[in-house]
Amino acid sequence: MDVTLKLSVDQVSTAILLLDQEEKHQLKQRLPALLSLTPDEREDLGWLHLAESAFHFWDDAAEDVYNDLIPQAGN
């Protein structure tokens, strides 16, 4: 017996919001494989990851409330 689970993008987004920080970190590590990214797309992600350190001066615990905001469609 096959059972298929189909979730909408909104349902997946909501589920991600419910994860704790460690679970979000684990998901972030798995996403390239889950999304079947091409080698070029994986390389682009690698470069973006390296560039993140250039923005650490903006790290501010008071602004962590913005980390989980999801932009509304059409914005």
Whole-number pLDDT of residue 73: 57
For residue 70, being part of any structural domain is answered with: no
- Domain containing 23 equals 15-57
Q: Is the pLDDT of residue 16 over 70?
A: yes
Q: pTM value?
A: 0.54
- What digits encode the pLDDT tens for the residues 51-65? 988 888 777 888 778
pLDDT at 30 over 60: yes
- Judge whether 30 lies within some domain: yes
The verdict on residue 62 lying in a domain is no
Rounded to whole angstroms, the Cα distance separating 3 from 13 reads: 22
Tell me the C-alpha distance between 46 and 40, whole Å. 10
Instruction: Please state the domain count of the chain.
Output: 1
Residue 4's pLDDT band (cuts 50, 70, 90): confident
Q: Is residue 71 part of a domain?
A: no
Reported confidence tier of residue 72, pLDDT bands at 50, 70, 90: low
In a domain, 27, yes or no: yes
C-alpha angle with apex 33: 31 to 36, nearest 5 degrees?
105
**Span between the terminal Cα atoms of the chain, in Å:** 43
